[in-house]
Amino acid sequence: MMNYAIHFEKRANICGGEPVIRGTRVTVKTLLASLAEGAMEDELLKDFPVLKRDDVRAVIAFAASSAAEDIPVLSCDPLAV
């Protein structure tokens, strides 16, 4: 499993204290939103040239880890609405 935390930093004077990719002003939230909208890794690297491929993968690893820990398992029963 990737150690995604080494790719992030959070400082009060950078982007209002939101987590960003270390050494940049690109927020983790921005990258997650772009991925959720269907952006591919290569698109993100083109749109944010300060990023490295491992930075994008760290954001994906963070999301996967967060989902595994925090999201309750939803019912698979189609009648349970």
Query: DSSP letter at 72?
Result: P
Residue 22 is classified by DSSP as: T
Tell me, what's the pLDDT at 65? Answer: 85
CATH at 28: 1.10.10.10
Q: Let me know: does 59 contact 31? Beta carbons within 8 Å.
A: yes
The answer to the question of residue 47 being in a domain is yes
pLDDT at 3: 86
Residue 63 tokens, joined: 């999301």
Residue 79 domain-assigned (yes or no)? no
The domain containing residue 50 runs over which residues? 4-70
In a domain, 75, yes or no: no
Q: Is residue 24, in this structure, part of any structural domain at all? A: yes
Backbone angles phi, psi at 14, to 5 degrees: -120, 120
Give domain status of residue 76, yes or no.
Answer: no
- The structural domain count of the chain equals 1
- What is the pLDDT at residue 24? 97
As given in the structure block, the two tokens for residue 76 are 């698979």
Query: According to the model, what pLDDT value does residue 60 have?
Result: 93
What is the pTM assigned to this prediction? 0.79
Q: Is residue 80 part of a domain?
A: no
Supply the pLDDT for residue 71: 57
Instruction: Let me know if residue 32 belongs to a domain.
Output: yes
Per DSSP, 74 falls in state: P
Alpha-carbon torsion (58, 37, 27, 25), positive or negative? positive
**Over the Cα atoms of the chain, what is R_g?**
15
Per the domain annotation, does 57 fall within a domain? yes
pLDDT digit string (tens) for the chain, length 81 residues: 678 889 999 999 999 999 999 999 999 999 999 999 999 999 999 999 999 999 999 999 999 888 766 555 555 555 554
